[in-house]
Amino acid sequence: MVDEVPGTASEEAVLRLTPLPLALPEGAYVCGVGAGRTPQELLVSVQGDGLVLFDAALEHLCRIARLLASDRGSALLVGVGGSGKQSLTRLAAQLAGATPVQITITKQYNQAALFEDIKAMYKLAGFKGQKVAFIFTDAEVKDEAFLEYINQVLMTGAVDGLFPRDELDQIVSDIRPIMKRESPELVDTYDNLYSFFMARGGLGFVRLQRD
């Protein structure tokens, strides 16, 4: 099940589906990503550029891709373990032009490590102009406080106290030539530079939760 967060739909996220001209299980389609290849080749090349999906999976895939293609698009996916939530999210991120990112939990992973990972996502989005899809599962809630920081990302698009002053100064300095090139109409002020950095690219969020 996908709980959608309101957002602006993107035509680029619409998935084009092509029915296969051969006997397949009812409801099976292939994504239009294997041009020039036979249906048989597409069926056996799941790790290549061919992929067979059923209607239910395609519906969820299109919803997730549309959300991730929108500005700060977010979604909550609820389902039993092994139902394909993470696989569909990663595929949807590629369709939406976003880079899927997931934290790696270790015994030493703590709030400071989470902050560093979130910083890296914002820098990838801000400096590279690349959409980022932050995938977060139940298994990664090592500390209940993590949910508070994730909620801040969802509510305001930022985490309070994420960047110390010296890092903020460096970010503002590094983003200045990019803002001047892409938005010359903006006044060169500290607040404008920081806002431009936070808005550029975009950080989407997908929470995966077991039913």
Mean per-residue pLDDT over the chain, rounded: 76
CA distance 194 to 190: 6
Residue 61: the pLDDT is 84
Rounded to the nearest 5°, which phi and psi values hold at 118? -65, -40
Q: How confident is the model at residue 211 (pLDDT cuts 50, 70, 90)?
A: low
For the chain, which residues make up each domain, given as ranges?
2-210
**Can you give the pTM of this predicted structure?**
0.70
Residue 53: pLDDT over 50? yes
Residue 15: the pLDDT is 36
Residue 42: pLDDT over 80? no
Residue 41: pLDDT over 60? no
- Fold exhibited by the domain 2-210: Rossmann fold (3.40.50)
Residue 165: the pLDDT is 93
Residue 112: the pLDDT is 92
Q: What is the pLDDT of residues 94-119, one digit of tens each?
A: 888 888 999 899 989 999 999 999 99
CA distance 38 to 50: 10
Residue 57: pLDDT over 90? no
Residue 49: pLDDT over 70? no
